[in-house]
Structure 1
Amino acid sequence: MKKFVLVLLLSVVLFFTFLGQTTVFQVAEARNAECAKEMLENDNWVVPTFNGELRTDKPALEYFGMILAYLMFGVNETAARFFSALCGVLVVLATFWFTRRHWGEKAALWASLVLLSSLHVILQFRLATPDPYLILCHTLSLYLFYEGWVSRKWKWFAGMYVFLGLGILAKGPVGLLLPSLTVGIFLLVTKAFNWKNIVLLKPWWGTFIVLFFSLPWYWAVDVQTGGQWTRGFFLEHNLDRFNNGLQGHGGPFILTVAFILAGMLPFSVFAVRALRAVWKNRKEDRLLVFALVAVGVVAVFYAFSHTKLINYTSPAYPFFAILLGYFISNLIEGRFSNRKLLIEFSIIAVLALGIPVGVYFIAENTPPLETVRWIAWCLVPFPVGAVFAVFYMRQSVQKGLLAVAGTFMVSTLIFFGGPFHIINHQSPIEKYHELVSAHPNVVAYKDFDNAFAFYAQRPIPVFQTEKELEAYLAQHKNVLVLTRDHDLSYMDTIPNIKRVGIDHDLFSRRMTGVYHEIE
Structure 2
Amino acid sequence: MIKTIEKYPVLTLLVVVLLVMLPGLGHLKVTIMEARNFITAREMLSDGNWILTTMNGVPRYEKPPLPTWITAMFGGMFGIQNVYVLRLPAVLMVWMTGSFTYLFSKTLTGNKRNSLINGLIAVTSFYVIGIVVEAPWDIYTHGFMIAAIYYLYKALKSFNIWNLVAASLLIACSVLSKGPISLYALLLPFLIAYAIVNGIKNKFLVKSILVLLVGLAIGSVWFIYVRIADSETFMKIATVETANWSSYNVKPFYYYWSFFIQSGIWALPALVGLLYPYMIKRVKLKKDYQLSLLWTIFAVVLLSLVPEKKSRYLMPVLIPLAINTGHYIFYIVNNLGKIKSSVEKIPIYFHFGILAFSAILFPLIAFIFFEEKMLANSTAFLIYCLGLLISGSFMCFFLCFKVGTSTLYSSIISFIFLFVTAIPLNPGFTNQNTHYKSISNLKSEAAKENIPVYSLDLISPEMLWDYGGIIPQIPELNQRYQMPNVERFGVLVTDTTLITAGAFNKEYTIQHKETYDINFGKYGTRKHKPRYVSNYYIFQRGLVKNIDNGN
TM-score class normalised by the smaller sequence: 0.7 to 0.9
SS at match of 2:533: strand
Partner residue of 1:90? 96
The gaps in structure 1 that reach 5 residues or longer are: 365-370
Kindly indicate whether residue 533 of structure 2 is the aligned counterpart of residue 512 of structure 1: yes
Deviation at 1:142, TM superposition (A): 1.7
**C-alpha contact 1:141 1:179 (8 A) present in aligned 2:** no
Q: Distance in 2 between matches of 1:344 and 1:272?
A: 12
TM-superposition CA deviations, 1:306-334 (whole Å, max 9, x none):
22122211112222112222221221111
SS at match of 1:130: helix
**C-alpha contact 2:34 2:133 (8 A) present in aligned 1:** no
Partner residue of 1:251? 251
TM-superposition CA deviations, 1:103-123 (whole Å, max 9, x none):
423212322322333343223
Q: Distance in 2 between matches of 1:35 and 1:215?
A: 20
Structure with more relative contact order (C-alpha pairs < 8 Å, separation 6 or more): 1
Q: Does 215-224 or 335-344 show the bigger shift?
A: 335-344
Kindly indicate whether residue 109 of structure 2 is the aligned counterpart of residue 99 of structure 1: no
**C-alpha contact 2:252 2:307 (8 A) present in aligned 1:** no
Pick closer, same or farther for the CA change 1:32–1:109 going to 2, 3 Å. Answer: same
2:513 pairs with 483, 486, 498, which one? 498
Pick closer, same or farther for the CA change 1:184–1:113 going to 2, 3 Å. Answer: closer
Partner residue of 1:274? 273
Q: Distance in 2 between matches of 1:110 and 1:339?
A: 20
**C-alpha contact 1:15 1:126 (8 A) present in aligned 2:** no
Alignment of 1:35-114 (within 5 A): 35-76=40-81, 77-101=83-107, 102-114=109-121
Amino acid of the structure 2 residue aligned with 1:243? S
2:438 pairs with 432, 454, 459, which one? 432
1:475 pairs with 487, 500, 522, which one? 487
Kindly indicate whether residue 175 of structure 2 is the aligned counterpart of residue 174 of structure 1: no
Amino acid of the structure 1 residue aligned with 2:188? L
Q: Distance in 2 between matches of 1:134 and 1:427?
A: 36
TM-score (norm 1): 0.81
Q: Distance in 1 between matches of 2:211 and 2:257?
A: 36
Pick closer, same or farther for the CA change 1:384–1:242 going to 2, 3 Å. Answer: farther
TM-superposition CA deviations, 1:412-461 (whole Å, max 9, x none):
22344x24698254579984142234333433343322222224354213
Pick closer, same or farther for the CA change 1:502–1:344 going to 2, 3 Å. Answer: closer
Aligned-residue Cα RMSD (Å) equals 4.2
Alignment of 1:446-457 (within 5 A): 446-457=457-468
Q: Does 468-477 or 102-111 show the bigger shift?
A: 468-477
Q: Distance in 2 between matches of 1:208 and 1:282?
A: 37
Partner residue of 2:4? none
**C-alpha contact 2:436 2:518 (8 A) present in aligned 1:** no
**C-alpha contact 1:103 1:326 (8 A) present in aligned 2:** no
Partner residue of 2:262? 263
Q: Distance in 1 between matches of 2:434 and 2:134?
A: 19
Q: Distance in 1 between matches of 2:360 and 2:298?
A: 33
Pick closer, same or farther for the CA change 1:31–1:356 going to 2, 3 Å. Answer: farther
Deviation at 1:45, TM superposition (A): 1.7
Deviation at 1:278, TM superposition (A): 4.3
Amino acid of the structure 2 residue aligned with 1:331? I
**C-alpha contact 2:436 2:519 (8 A) present in aligned 1:** no
TM-score (norm 2): 0.76
Amino acid of the structure 2 residue aligned with 1:146? Y
Q: Distance in 1 between matches of 2:225 and 2:312?
A: 29
Deviation at 1:225, TM superposition (A): 0.6
Pick closer, same or farther for the CA change 1:470–1:492 going to 2, 3 Å. Answer: farther
SS at match of 2:274: helix
TM-superposition CA deviations, 1:258-292 (whole Å, max 9, x none):
2x322211112112322235444689443323322
**C-alpha contact 2:437 2:518 (8 A) present in aligned 1:** no
Pick closer, same or farther for the CA change 1:29–1:273 going to 2, 3 Å. Answer: same
Q: Does 29-38 or 286-295 show the bigger shift?
A: 286-295
Q: Distance in 1 between matches of 2:212 and 2:253?
A: 34
**C-alpha contact 2:454 2:492 (8 A) present in aligned 1:** yes
Q: Does 181-190 or 425-434 show the bigger shift?
A: 425-434
Deviation at 1:65, TM superposition (A): 1.2
Q: Distance in 1 between matches of 2:98 and 2:49?
A: 33
Alignment of 1:10-49 (within 5 A): 10-20=16-26, 22-24=28-30, 26-49=31-54
**C-alpha contact 1:84 1:127 (8 A) present in aligned 2:** no
Q: Identity, % of aligned pairs?
A: 17
Partner residue of 1:460? 471
Aligned residues: 495
Q: Does 260-269 or 185-194 show the bigger shift?
A: 185-194
SS at match of 2:440: helix
Q: Distance in 2 between matches of 1:142 and 1:281?
A: 27
Pick closer, same or farther for the CA change 1:97–1:433 going to 2, 3 Å. Answer: farther
Partner residue of 1:221? 226
Pick closer, same or farther for the CA change 1:146–1:357 going to 2, 3 Å. Answer: farther
**C-alpha contact 2:260 2:271 (8 A) present in aligned 1:** no
Amino acid of the structure 1 residue aligned with 2:492? L
Q: Does 44-53 or 117-126 show the bigger shift?
A: 117-126
Q: Distance in 1 between matches of 2:220 and 2:313?
A: 24
The gaps in structure 2 that reach 5 residues or longer are: 1-6, 503-509, 522-526, 541-551
Pick closer, same or farther for the CA change 1:232–1:81 going to 2, 3 Å. Answer: same
Alignment of 1:268-307 (within 5 A): 268-276=267-275, 277-280=278-281, 284-307=285-308
**C-alpha contact 2:436 2:520 (8 A) present in aligned 1:** no
